[in-house]
Amino acid sequence: MKAHLTRRYWFSASHRLHSESMSPEENRRTYGKCNNPHGHGHNYALEVTVSGPVNQATGMVCNLVDLDEFVHGHILERFGHENLNMLPAFGQRVPTTENLCREIFEILQRGFTTAHLEKVRLEETMMNSFEFAGDAEVRK
């Protein structure tokens, strides 16, 4: 039997949406108030969905302790209470929530091998959430 597990986590971080390849006016038009030179913060809600066969002995897709430890050590500690613009992952990319979602997915895909990673969902505000399930061409 294959099952899906979605686990939810929370962290806070700040960022400024700004592209060095655009003029100041283009940045203001593109990113609006999110281009504030002092940045702004969000309380993110992260959902990680994994899947796999249900282990006969444990009755689980994966051990929640293992998933929690990985997410806390590799995601929450890395991004929580940070200015995303200052992190190496966003040295060449604008730290949009779309890019953050992809970065989190890639970290999980590389390091959490106990269950199959289905997708990552990142809620930025009550109005905005983003999902990433990998690149189609990579999964073929």
Active site residue 124: yes
Of 62, 101, 124, 131, catalytic: 124
Of 34, 47, 106, 116, catalytic: 34
**Alpha-carbon distances of 88 from 1, 7, 93, rounded to whole Å:** 40, 26, 9
113 residue type, one letter: T
Contact between 115 and 68 under an 8 Å Cβ cutoff? The reply is no
Of 4, 69, 77, 81, catalytic: 81
Residues 108, 101: Cα–Cα separation, whole Å: 11
Residues marked as catalytic: 34, 81, 124
